[in-house]
Structure 1
Amino acid sequence: MLVAGAYFMEILDATVIATAVPAISSSFGVDAVDVGIAISAYILTLAVLIPVSGWMAERFGVRRVFLTAIVIFTAASVGCALSPSLPVLVGMRVLQGVGGAMMVPVGRLAVLRASTKSEYVRAIAYLTWPALTAPVLAPALGGAIVTYLSWRWIFLINVPLGIVGLIVGLKVVRGDPSATAARPLDWRGMVLTTVGIAALIISLDSIRADGTPWGGVGIGFAVALVATAVAIVHLRRTEHPLLDLTVLKVESFRNTATYGSFYRMLITAVPFLLPLMFQLRFGWSPLVSGLMVIALFLGNIAVKPTTTPLMRRFGIRTVIVADGALSVLCFAAIASVGVDTPPVAVAAILVVSGALRSIGFTAYNSLAFADISSERLTHANTFNATVQELFSGFGVALGAIALTVSTSIVTGLGKPSGDAFSLSFALLGVLMVVIVVGGVLLPKDAGRAVTARAR
């Protein structure tokens, strides 16, 4: 629960600032678009430093790194709240990213090391809820804070959470006596992966529903492709790679890293598109639209007690296939709603969508480490954390691309621009079929080591 709380704090901080952009721009006397760098700086720092977190855990110990990360993140939050200008805010956001990059992956590693295979499903269930709830709660929470308090309180709410986390962490996080036997840091791998990830994140962040600089995006993707290709060659040849690609030889982990990441990308696009649809198509206020999105959170919470029994009863493979198929139908249902749809019906659909999100995320997160040996756990955890962060960013970009393409299509057909949202969700539903295929390709007993399901 300590690590889950830290994870919640980190994800919430990454998403809630979006609702405060107008207030921050007014406070600093800059254009709203200029504040976007404060969001990008945090995500970029987080993405490029996560690959190093595994090495740091080995070199300095899980306990020391995790507790230091909480201190850095909390102190940087105070710095963000007290920032007198945009450049200072950006600098503090970078510092927050440093703390977040160490805090979450290393905390997850501590949980996995302290858990047996049979306890993985329950542990992962606790670690999954922040990724499901924080992006959903952020719009309503951010809107309320900015409306009734000040944008600076968005960062100050981290302070009591950080203090409590540090006090609890000092008591419950165990030491790591093997920390001194760390492998040397792969500097070349770090530079190559940093360039590749940075170019990719910057390119994705440049994609907008309107006014995307496609030339710059193309150049960024090209740089990312070249840097990633060179990094892969290096990581496969060096003796002590920053990211150990051999973990992909484990079938269950490989399926999670590919199909599971694709699932994460599709699901992350939903909280991005829904507030836009509610405000631009339905004409709802930001606060009302944010409150409606909370229906996803209600679905997450309502189904959470059943996720572990479902996997133990039917197996992870069956759960993933069924969840993917039902998600296709759910996307179709979201695509069918309109201005005249009763709000109760919209909320009901979102509750079901939230429940499916919870089941799918928990299933894939449990499958990821099912067949990973203890000595390879650090490498697998680092690789998985890096991929998760990247594909979460891909989800927002995918939502923007789907909306851009859909707008062009409906405009060309002479239909109302609001129909672009329906088409966007329909496209996401079609892509969800890939998840069903990925689930079918899994062995029937996939994840048996962590579900402890009887034959």
Structure 2
Amino acid sequence: MSKESSHTALLWIVATGFFMQALDTTIVNTALPSIAHSLGVRPLAMQWAIVAYTLTMATITPASGWLADRFGTRRVYFCAILIFVLGSLCCASAHTLAQLVIARVLQGVGGSMLLPIGRLAVLRAVSSEQYVSALALISIAGQVGPIVGPTLGGWFVEAASWHWIFLINVPIGAVGLIAVYRYLPSANGSSAPRFDLAGCALLSLCMIAFSLAVDAPTQSHRAAWSLALFMLGLIAALAYVPYARRRRNPLFKLSLFREPNFSVGLTGNLVCRIGTSAVPFLVPLLLQLQLGYTPLHSGLMMLPAALSGAVAKRWIAPLIRRYGYGTFLLVNTVIVGASIVAFALISQATPTIVAIVVLAIFGAANSMQFAAMNSVTLKGLSHEDAGGGNSLFSMVQMLAMGLGVSIGGTLVKLFADQSGSASFGFRMSFVCVGVITLIAALIFRRIEETPTAASAGQPAAAAIPLDATSGGGR
């Protein structure tokens, strides 16, 4: 096989893995009520099937690069696809919510390594001049996943059963395994530096504790449990600071936060994504449980958001060049937050076209929001800090996704229980997560305008990051 053909095969392999991971983050949402009915639980209890997946990805992602260095990119990428497929089979075989959550953890282990290791394989195989174009090609697969995911999930539920939203990964993964074995260059592992297991454990404990604190998995003394878990997460986060100062090669260097836009961007990302990540979870539930939509109909209703997001990507660069990151993110965050609040106004009396317009506005603004947040957070990092900053950024992205789902679901239950109306619970939940998103606008006001990464000589990987959590748009 020629070198050019080998590179093409590599890009398709990585794109397949990215598509599989991106598809899985969206295809589940429209099927949640059907899965809940099959497993005999309340639909809102299904949030743990999503949170378990995102938290697992957040905890494993930092180790992906070290695993590739230690055991070889080809071997680890093959194992990642295999674990993801096995996890998908276990999800389809689950008979209880606990079994599904455990299976989603297994699926998350594989999914956490698909994009980071695939991106690393591309970085090592192609020249720096081809890297940006290669990432652009791979991102197309990530954009297709969220577009077809909700509709495909709804169609599977109605045409067959919810089990097929997981079984679809088996043939895709099988093709990926064959392609990896045949086309991915074989490379032995090297003597990689020692992995910071203690640092990773501290940060993982922090993320898990914060996520559990939002919705403590116990009915007795819930407030006490939530407070204790929150304090545990805070102690773990604070303990990492002196630990990282003493260690020569910590998991994440504290010097990352000397870059002002990284600190502002990371904080703004966390707050903004908590609000926006609740929407893909709550909207399908609202449409099916409150408005009486079928799974397929609710999946089709999510299509305008995905399509408008894909179209809006071309507007990002000219808008940022004209207004700068600070102004753009300030205004766009307000639009995103306001569109989330507008979901609270959707009811059975709302014309379908109005709901479609709101979803399209949210999708377009959200797509631009994530791309701009990704870029402004990472573009100022040096070449030395780009890898660590990107890994920490990915962890925060996935933590925010889990927190968004947990907070959104908890708010619906809280308001519904207090008012006796599930409809009121959904409306107030959208208002609250919309306000959380609007708070991010105040954070983005602190962004310092700097030259773009390309003009400043920053690495392409930092200038045009790929989002591992939701496929290109996020």
Instruction: Give me the TM-score of the superposition, normalised by structure 2.
Output: 0.78
Matched, 1:187 2:197: yes
* 1:302–1:355 CA contact under 8 A, matched in 2: yes
What's the RMSD between the two structures over aligned residues?
A: 4.0
Matched, 1:393 2:398: no
Residue pairs, 1:202-221, within 5 angstroms: 202-204=212-214, 206=216, 213-221=222-230
AA at the equivalent of 2:152: L
Match of 2:109 in 1: 98
**Of 57, 66, 77, which aligns to 1:46?**
57
Determine helix, strand or coil for the equivalent of 1:383: helix
Report the CA distance between 1:388 and its aligned residue.
1.0
Q: Describe the shift of the 1:441–1:128 C-alpha distance in structure 2 as closer, same or farther (beyond 3 A).
A: farther
AA at the equivalent of 2:454: A
Counterpart-to-counterpart distance in 1, 2:140 and 2:456:
16
* 2:18–2:141 CA contact under 8 A, matched in 1: no
Matched, 1:440 2:445: yes
Determine helix, strand or coil for the equivalent of 1:242: coil
Match of 2:460 in 1: none
Match of 2:296 in 1: 287
Matched, 1:156 2:161: no
Report the CA distance between 1:359 and its aligned residue.
0.5
Counterpart-to-counterpart distance in 2, 1:303 and 1:264:
18
Q: Describe the shift of the 1:180–1:145 C-alpha distance in structure 2 as closer, same or farther (beyond 3 A).
A: same
Report the CA distance between 1:385 and its aligned residue.
1.4
Render the CA deviation track for 1:326-383: whole Å, top value 9, x for unaligned. 2244234433443322101110111111001110111112223312233333212221
Counterpart-to-counterpart distance in 2, 1:382 and 1:270:
25
Counterpart-to-counterpart distance in 2, 1:237 and 1:419:
51
Residue pairs, 1:7-156, within 5 angstroms: 7-14=18-25, 16-17=27-28, 31-32=40-41, 41-81=52-92, 92-110=103-121, 123=135, 127=139, 130=142, 138-156=149-167
Report the CA distance between 1:37 and its aligned residue.
6.5
Render the CA deviation track for 1:149-200: whole Å, top value 9, x for unaligned. 23332222112322444455568867889x6352212232233233333333
Moved more, 10-19 or 384-393: 10-19
Match of 2:466 in 1: none
* 1:189–1:235 CA contact under 8 A, matched in 2: yes
Determine helix, strand or coil for the equivalent of 1:444: coil
Render the CA deviation track for 1:198-237: whole Å, top value 9, x for unaligned. 33333446489x9994443333223222223223331232
* 1:53–1:382 CA contact under 8 A, matched in 2: no
Determine helix, strand or coil for the equivalent of 2:454: helix
Report the CA distance between 1:280 and its aligned residue.
4.0
AA at the equivalent of 1:441: R
Counterpart-to-counterpart distance in 2, 1:295 and 1:170:
38
Report the CA distance between 1:39 and its aligned residue.
5.2
Q: Describe the shift of the 1:418–1:321 C-alpha distance in structure 2 as closer, same or farther (beyond 3 A).
A: same
Report the CA distance between 1:125 and its aligned residue.
9.4
Matched, 1:228 2:237: yes
Counterpart-to-counterpart distance in 2, 1:312 and 1:331:
27
AA at the equivalent of 1:383: L
* 1:280–1:418 CA contact under 8 A, matched in 2: no
Percent identity of paired positions between Structure 1 and Structure 2? 34
Q: Describe the shift of the 1:231–1:281 C-alpha distance in structure 2 as closer, same or farther (beyond 3 A).
A: same
Report the CA distance between 1:24 and its aligned residue.
5.9
Counterpart-to-counterpart distance in 2, 1:421 and 1:152:
27
Match of 1:245 in 2: 254
Q: Describe the shift of the 1:391–1:83 C-alpha distance in structure 2 as closer, same or farther (beyond 3 A).
A: closer
Counterpart-to-counterpart distance in 2, 1:260 and 1:117:
29
Match of 1:345 in 2: 354
Q: Describe the shift of the 1:305–1:322 C-alpha distance in structure 2 as closer, same or farther (beyond 3 A).
A: same
AA at the equivalent of 1:185: F
AA at the equivalent of 1:436: A
Counterpart-to-counterpart distance in 2, 1:436 and 1:330:
14
Render the CA deviation track for 1:118-160: whole Å, top value 9, x for unaligned. 9769947964984x77567544433321332233322221123
AA at the equivalent of 1:148: A
Counterpart-to-counterpart distance in 2, 1:86 and 1:420:
23
Residue pairs, 1:311-350, within 5 angstroms: 311-350=320-359
Determine helix, strand or coil for the equivalent of 2:381: coil
* 1:6–1:165 CA contact under 8 A, matched in 2: yes
* 1:304–1:359 CA contact under 8 A, matched in 2: yes
Report the CA distance between 1:76 and its aligned residue.
3.6
Match of 1:197 in 2: 207
* 1:316–1:446 CA contact under 8 A, matched in 2: no
**Of 297, 301, 307, which aligns to 1:298?**
307
Determine helix, strand or coil for the equivalent of 2:302: helix
Match of 1:431 in 2: 436
Instruction: Give me the TM-score of the superposition, normalised by structure 1.
Output: 0.80
Moved more, 136-145 or 146-155: 136-145
Counterpart-to-counterpart distance in 2, 1:4 and 1:330:
31
* 1:334–1:422 CA contact under 8 A, matched in 2: yes
Give unmatched runs, 5+ long, in structure 2.
Answer: 1-10, 458-474
Match of 1:374 in 2: 383
AA at the equivalent of 2:274: M
* 1:74–1:162 CA contact under 8 A, matched in 2: yes
